[in-house]
Amino acid sequence: MGTYNIALVKGDGIGPEIVDSAVEILNAIGKKFGHTFNFTPYLAGGAAIDATGKPLPQETVDGCLASDSVLLGAVGGPKWDTLPADIRPEKALLGLRKAMGLYTNLRPSRLYPALKAECPLRPDLVENGYDLLIVRELTGGIYFGDRGRREGQYGPEAWDTEAYSVMEIERIARAAFDAARKRRKSVISIDKANVLETSRLWREVVHRIAEEEYPDVECSDMLVDNAAMQLVKNPGQFDVILTSNMFGDILSDEASQISGSIGLLSSASLGATPRGMYEPAHGSAPDIAGQNLANPIATVLSAAMMLRYSFDLGAEANCIEAAVDDVLNAGIRTADIVGASGATPIGCTEMTAELLKRI
Ligand code: IPM
Ligand code: MG
């Protein structure tokens, strides 16, 4: 019977609708299992730019750091796309990850049997389904390296740098191996060691951690270009994918699409404490915002991850995941997952109601 203080960063576009849906689900879980969830809203992204001129007000950082965990919708939209780099909505996301020390990003992707027909891969390639977890390093690499503009050999040029310390690689490797121990005990580490020095260090460190600390977990390497291909050729070969910030960004979008819809994919960003940030893997979808068309499932599943990883409430998380399975098995669909099923699509509020019935 716990009390948990959750910071809500609804953000932009469909953010508010899908976060409201997850809040309803959490309240129902609270009622069923005897927990109290307190929610405090904070501004970030375009909404914060409009209200305060800044994408990530200090009040939001302080509020998130004082919370037990953060639930985030999505940030960004065309309205803010032309702003200078330092006040773009994306700064809010990157700033929160850094300020909260969230170096581990978990992005699961699996094929729901009920959604097999929506998978864009040839049926024989996913006959046995797939179930993988991307463990993406989140506060290092080229995202946070030195960058700038300068005069180069051919005139004005721009540059970004990728740097990884042994410490950063060790801690993300441990996160991946720990996750693998709770799954099928296999880690494929993805890099570009045939070209990049950071990748060569990455490989060295990952193998040392594997041998010294996780002899029970299988560990192998794959080059990122090959990995991009293998994901659409044989996704079933992957259990845990361990990779850097930028490779993880790219591969996780690819992995999301092979599940049938990006509207189903949750994510967790974790650090050294139980406090995390949980958000759907998709964006703010400004084209459908405010029209009751969004699929809340990715955000609802992100809330389930919060219960499991931040609050250690496994049974409660299972209850949400079972409700999602049940809704999908019953053929209930939002527009993004209707596909060829012939179902009549329902809206975000109706989907929330269907999930609530099953909690
Ligand atoms: C993601 C997003 C972000 C990232 C952007 C919005 C900064 O693409 O969470 O994958 O690149 O990390
Ligand atoms: Mg991305």
Distance CA 221, CA 224 (A): 9
Tell whether ligand 1 has an atom less than 6 A from the beta carbon of residue 249: yes
Tell me how crowded residue 328 is: count the other CB atoms within 10 A of its CB.
18
- Which residues, 6+ apart, have CB-to-CB distance to 13 below 8 Å? 73, 74, 76, 77, 283, 284, 285, 286, 289
CA-only gyration radius of the chain, Å: 20
Each residue's pLDDT tens digit, 1-18: 899 999 999 999 999 999
- pLDDT band at residue 260 using 50, 70 and 90 as cut-offs: confident
Q: Which of 54, 6, 86 is nearest to 279 (CA)?
A: 6
Q: Which of 300, 305, 358 is nearest to 17 (CA)?
A: 300
Cα(192) to ligand 1 centroid in Å equals 20
Cα(279) to ligand 1 centroid in Å equals 11
Each residue's pLDDT tens digit, 141-153: 999 999 999 999 9
Residue 252 has pLDDT above 90, yes or no: yes
The one-letter amino acid code at 9 reads V
Atom 10 of ligand 1, residue of closest alpha carbon: 249
Tell whether ligand 1 has an atom less than 6 A from the beta carbon of residue 146: no
Residue 175 tokens read as 């996160």
The yes-or-no answer on residue 249 being catalytic is yes
Residue 77 has pLDDT above 90, yes or no: yes
| Residue 252 CB-half CA count within 13 A | 29
The yes-or-no answer on residue 253 being catalytic is yes
Cα separations (Å) of 301 from 188, 195, 317, 320, 348? 25, 37, 8, 7, 14
Cα separations (Å) of 181 from 137, 217, 218, 239, 268? 18, 7, 10, 11, 18
Distance CA 21, CA 300 (A): 7
Output DSSP code: residue 75. Answer: -
Output DSSP code: residue 37. Answer: E
Residue 56 has pLDDT above 90, yes or no: yes
- Which residues, 6+ apart, have CB-to-CB distance to 123 below 8 Å? 116
Residues written for the chain? 359
The one-letter amino acid code at 235 reads P
Q: What is the mean pLDDT of residues 290-299?
A: 96
| pLDDT over 70, % of the chain | 100
| pLDDT over 90, % of the chain | 88
Q: What is the pTM of this model?
A: 0.95
Q: What is the mean pLDDT of residues 333-337?
A: 93
Distance CA 337, CA 328 (A): 9
Across 86-95, 138-147, 258-267, which has the greatest mean pLDDT? 138-147
From 42, 103, 130, 143, the catalytic residue: 143
Residue 113 has pLDDT above 90, yes or no: no
Per-residue pLDDT at 141: 98
Average pLDDT, the chain: 96
From 50, 146, 160, 225, the catalytic residue: 225
Tell whether the torsion through CA atoms of 318, 323, 329 and 332 is positive or negative: negative
The yes-or-no answer on residue 86 being catalytic is no
Q: What is the mean pLDDT of residues 228-253?
A: 97
Strand stretches in 184-307, DSSP E: 186-191, 218-223, 240-243, 266-270, 276-280
The bridge status of strand 131-137 relative to strand 240-243 is: parallel
The residue with greater pLDDT, 343 or 228, is 228
- Which residues, 6+ apart, have CB-to-CB distance to 334 below 8 Å? 263, 293, 294, 295, 296, 297, 345, 346, 347, 348, 351
Distance CA 23, CA 20 (A): 5
Output DSSP code: residue 292. Answer: T
Q: What is the mean pLDDT of residues 213-233?
A: 98
